[in-house]
Structure 1
Amino acid sequence: MKAIIIKNPGGPEVLELEERESPKPNANEVLIEVKAAGVNRPDVFQRMGGYPAPEGAPDDIPGLEVAGIIKEIGTNVKQWKIGDRVCALVAGGGYASEAVAPATQCLPIPQGLSFVEGASLPETFFTVWSNVFDRGQFRKGENFLVHGGSSGIGVTAIQMVKSMGGKVFITAGTQEKCDFTKKLGADLAINYKTQDFEEYLKERNEGVDVILDMVGGDYTAKNINILNPDGRLVIINAMKDPESTINMKRVMVKRLTITGSTLRARSPEFKGAIAENLKRHIWPKIETGEIKPIIYKTFPLVEASKAHMLMESSEHIGKIILTIE
């Protein structure tokens, strides 16, 4: 098979196309002929040497989500058959023409969607469901804030929360991104380069019930300040700074919950439960067009380095996808 290899930790230029032996599925896995693969921020961290693959996943082939056609099934797999069109969350190895995935982490590509659109779904949709709805316990009628509203996670969270009856606030770094997210459904879009999101929301008397944060650093204290009583702060990255100083008295008085997670190393059973919730609650909304995949740009597999350069520039709105012939 063709695969993009991390030759050694470094910049985008360390990604190279190589021929590799095809992987073999175990009893509970399927082998997918990959047609498209999503590019995500964790892939960049892995390339730089800061996000090692969990045990059993390829440590030199990045990629956390794929879409394609099932080519082979393990002996214990009953829910899929050869020829099925699926998208899947994988622990690594997605930047390749073939990849294995636990059967429980596969979902049918929603009716009417292409392979490129299907590949844009798993990583962000699994992440948002797990952190906003499971850990964050979002409920209909609540106010929700996502930082990085124009990212893949952001555009997914906006649509999922709006479809579940929430009021959505976002932060983004340009007016273009703010305008795009409002067209997507955000009720308030705050340009963090020209406005302080804490002051902006306080001036409008808008408290927040659930916050999904990828920034960390001084955002943490600001997040705590704007959370309503019994609010929940869910941290999934700390791109600005992993260390924060907060006022614990505010946490106690407002009965706040501060939590965080990483998804990659969780078990197939854990991820399979998320897949079932997505299939039940979200996939029908995709098929009706209420929730849409947001694709910014595609690159052929051999140009994975260019895709990483774009990801690191943060110029994109939505998802970046690799296509495989």
Structure 2
Amino acid sequence: MKAIHCDLLGDADVLQVIEVEKPKIRDDEVLIEVAATSVNWADLWKLADFRRKVRSATSPKPNLGLECSGRIVEVGSQVTRWKIGDEVCGIVPGGGYAELVAVCDKLVIPIPMGIPLRDAATLPLSACLIWHCFFRLNRVRQDQIILIHRAAGGVGSLAIQILKYYGCHVYITAGTREKIAFCKGLGAEVCINYRKENFYKRVFEETKGKDFGVIAAKNISIAGGNSLSLSPAAHATLLNDVEKNIWPAIAQQRIRPIVYKSFKLIEAADAHTAMQKSINLGKKNGILDVPSTQSSSHPVSHVAVNHSRAQAPYLS
């Protein structure tokens, strides 16, 4: 099968399409024919770390690709929920930049109703991060004011929609008029251009001084979260929560992933560059086309590039 291989040429990353062995699944895993895999900032961080530390041709290469969508083509002997032909998306332990990927059956969930198979690759990690940080760690409730920094990114744009769905008042910051308009179209109530005005002063004015003062008055703690550091079991629980609480809103067309641009597989490095330049809106998706390994109604696989580098509770 074909997969992206990372190597070094001088100080530059070289992302090449090569032939590798087909993954062998364990009893609790499924094999997915990849329709799309989202390129996240974690992939770029892996490459940066690889550049800093590795100077040997025999050193381990970064295992890129942390989420995907596709069709199940094999199931392990202990798998009961899934069957061959099911269309799913989920979180993978690296290796998503490939035609086939093996993943634990608990780390995949059905494609949201009404969402194209390839677009679904942009959802698992972002949705899990949002649910983990806002609804688990910070127990967000209806009518709360939420501030999202640099909200035109992948996680930010999805967070606006999810928080609005749950009745929150969403304030955002962004750096251009285009991004401000984009976020407003998603439902953000107060949109602040952080390049032109002081966001703290504006939020203070909009909330009549109540927003930040309540932190001290009620002894509120501030929690930060990163879903990538969670265990597979924790991710499985989050995916279950996402399927129950966010997928219905997608089926109602209240929430939608936003795809930006497509790339061919051989243009993987270009997709990374586009992500770094922060020129896109939404999930910042580039799509890296890959020949399909199976005959199906979805004849190509591709990599959707997630431009967001968001952190919660303030996403950026």
TM-score w.r.t. the length of structure 2 is 0.83
Q: Please list every run of at least 4 consecutive aligned residues from structure 1 whose deviation after the TM superposition is greater than 4 angstroms.
A: 9-13
The residue that corresponds to 1:229 in the other structure is 214
Counterpart-to-counterpart distance in 2, 1:30 and 1:10:
38
Counterparts in 2 of 1:21 and 1:227: CA distance versus 1, 3 Å? farther
Richer in strand (by share): 1
**Structure 2 unpaired stretches of 5+:** 53-59, 291-299, 301-316
State the 1:260 CA deviation: 2.2
Q: Does 1:290 align with 2:254?
A: yes
Counterparts in 2 of 1:115 and 1:321: CA distance versus 1, 3 Å? farther
Counterpart-to-counterpart distance in 1, 2:260 and 2:168:
25
Q: Which amino acid aligns with 1:94?
A: G
Counterparts in 2 of 1:88 and 1:294: CA distance versus 1, 3 Å? same
The residue that corresponds to 1:192 in the other structure is 194
Q: How does 1:34-49 map to 2 (within 5 A)?
A: 34-49=34-49
State the 1:254 CA deviation: 4.8
- For the 8 Å contact 1:4–1:61, the answer to whether it is kept is no
Q: How does 1:272-291 map to 2 (within 5 A)?
A: 272-291=236-255
Equivalent position SS for 1:229: helix
- For the 8 Å contact 2:114–2:250, the answer to whether it is kept is no
Range moving further from structure 2, 259-268 or 288-297: 259-268
Equivalent position SS for 1:49: helix
**Structure 1 unpaired stretches of 5+:** 53-57, 209-225, 231-249
State the 1:206 CA deviation: 5.3
Equivalent position SS for 2:246: helix
Counterpart-to-counterpart distance in 2, 1:131 and 1:10:
39
State the 1:264 CA deviation: 2.4
Q: How does 1:1-325 map to 2 (within 5 A)?
A: 1-8=1-8, 13-49=13-49, 60-205=62-207, 227-230=212-215, 254-319=218-283, 320-322=285-287, 323-324=289-290, 325=300
Equivalent position SS for 2:228: coil
Q: Which amino acid aligns with 2:228?
A: R
Counterpart-to-counterpart distance in 2, 1:10 and 1:108:
42
State the 1:48 CA deviation: 1.1
Residue deviations 1:292-325 (CA, integer Å, cap 9, x gap): 1111112122211111011000111112143433
Equivalent position SS for 1:148: coil
Counterpart-to-counterpart distance in 2, 1:14 and 1:86:
30
State the 1:12 CA deviation: 6.9
Counterparts in 2 of 1:206 and 1:48: CA distance versus 1, 3 Å? farther
Give the alignment's Cα RMSD to 1 decimal: 2.3
Counterpart-to-counterpart distance in 2, 1:134 and 1:176:
32
- For the 8 Å contact 1:37–1:321, the answer to whether it is kept is no
Counterparts in 2 of 1:34 and 1:168: CA distance versus 1, 3 Å? same
Equivalent position SS for 1:260: coil
Q: How many residues align?
A: 282
Equivalent position SS for 2:192: strand
Counterparts in 2 of 1:93 and 1:175: CA distance versus 1, 3 Å? same
Counterpart-to-counterpart distance in 1, 2:77 and 2:154:
35
- For the 8 Å contact 2:113–2:247, the answer to whether it is kept is no
Counterpart-to-counterpart distance in 2, 1:195 and 1:138:
27
Counterpart-to-counterpart distance in 2, 1:12 and 1:301:
18
